[in-house]
Amino acid sequence: MHMLGEDTHSNDVEVTWEDQERINKFSRLHAALADVEEEMQVRRTEREELEDLGLEIELLDDDTVLCVCVC
């Protein structure tokens, strides 16, 4: 909101083409970083689940028959 009599252009900032390109590049890299961090979290969770399954398999009695289906 602007007050009456206030210069509405006083907050405008000039951005050079080079600066805008840098801003755009930063934005793309930041988005890519967020994607990678999200993928890392998914993989980390998957790894933890696989480790838990590995421990469960180790805890099975030797007499227990284990059937593994590889699809």
What is the torsional sign of CA 18, 21, 22, 23? Answer: positive
How many domains in the chain? 1
Q: Is residue 58 part of a domain?
A: yes
Q: Is residue 3 part of a domain?
A: no
pTM here is 0.58
Confidence of residue 67 (pLDDT cuts 50, 70, 90): low
> What would the two tokens of residue 52 be?
């838990």
Q: Is residue 30 part of a domain?
A: yes
pLDDT tens string 22-54 = 999 999 999 999 999 999 999 999 999 999 999
Q: What is the pLDDT of residue 19?
A: 96
Residue type, 27: S
Q: Is residue 47 part of a domain?
A: yes
Q: What is the pLDDT of residue 1?
A: 46
Cβ-based neighbours of 23, under 8 Å, separated by 6 or more: 15
Q: What is the pLDDT of residue 22?
A: 97
Range of the domain at 46: 16-71
**Nearest-angstrom CA–CA distance, 50 and 41:** 14
